[in-house]
């Protein structure tokens, strides 16, 4: 439980910081940075909740996430240079968040009895599509569709999840292995600069 809370908050902060930094690079004003931090960290879960009809979306019912993200934005604005130097720490939590949010999306799918492909889709949307909204708002073709191993890590992690479940591994262990698989694939891909192939 505390392990999940830790990852959830760490991932949210990393996603928010990356959103705010992306906004700074595009010369947004302070309000724009806050929106960027916000959509990057809760955008994926919001799309998921809309698609499955879990409305009102959770962050509107509980302002603690909003306040956390506002705080991250403020700190990113005030200590921009220092935070940019935290590159490795951010990548660490970003990758951990990627794993956790994928797991969350898969669990939401299971909770409403979706089949495996739809659960994988929900997991991937939860983890990755906040970044897609961020890139659209910043007027760029989403990185997710062009380079890096990002969604692929989520899908592979999700497949591991269902394989382990089929093998009757205990729930907690399935969760942890899933998160660590996604975390590991993502970190290796960043380190070795691996991308998906393109056509032609």
Can you give the binding site for a copy of itself, defined by CB under 8 A? 23-24, 26-33, 35-36, 46, 50-53, 55-57, 60-61, 63, 66-67, 77, 80, 109, 112, 114-118, 121-122, 132, 136-142, 144-147, 151-152, 195-200
Nearer to a copy of itself, 7 or 119 (CB): 119
Reported residue count of the chain is: 200
Specify whether the CB–CB gap between 52 and 112 falls below 8 A. Answer: yes
CB of 136: closest distance to a copy of itself in angstroms? 6
Burial 115-152 (b: 16+ CB within 10 A, else e): eeebbbbbbbbbbbbbbbbbbebbeeebebeeebbbbb
Tokens of 92: 């660490």
Specify whether the CB–CB gap between 145 and 59 falls below 8 A. Answer: no
Nearer to a copy of itself, 28 or 187 (CB): 28
What's the rounded Cα separation, in Å, for the pair 35 and 82?
Answer: 21
CB of 195: closest distance to a copy of itself in angstroms? 6
Nearer to a copy of itself, 136 or 163 (CB): 136
CB of 50: closest distance to a copy of itself in angstroms? 6
CB of 176: closest distance to a copy of itself in angstroms? 26
């Amino acid at each position: 439980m505390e392990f999940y809370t830790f990852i959830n908050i760490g991932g949210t902060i990393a996603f928010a910081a990356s959103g705010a930094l992306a906004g700074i690079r595009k010369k947004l004003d302070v309000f724009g940075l806050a929106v960027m931090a916000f959509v990057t960290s809760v955008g994926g879960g919001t799309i998921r909740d809309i698609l499955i009809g879990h409305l009102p979306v959770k962050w509107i019912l509980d302002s603690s996430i909003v306040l956390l993200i506002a705080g991250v934005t403020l700190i990113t604005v005030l200590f921009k240079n220092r935070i940019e130097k935290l590159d490795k720490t951010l990548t660490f939590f970003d990758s951990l968040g990627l794993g956790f949010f994928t797991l969350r999306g898969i669990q939401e799918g299971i909770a409403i009895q979706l089949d495996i492909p739809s659960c994988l889709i929900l997991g991937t949307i939860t983890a990755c599509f906040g970044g897609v909204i961020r890139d659209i708002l910043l007027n760029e073709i989403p990185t997710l569709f062009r380079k890096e191993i990002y969604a692929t890590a989520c899908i592979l992690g999700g497949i591991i999840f269902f394989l382990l479940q089929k093998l009757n591994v205990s729930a907690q262990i399935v969760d942890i292995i899933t998160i660590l698989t996604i975390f590991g694939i993502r970190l290796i891909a960043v380190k070795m600069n691996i991308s998906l192939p393109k056509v032609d």
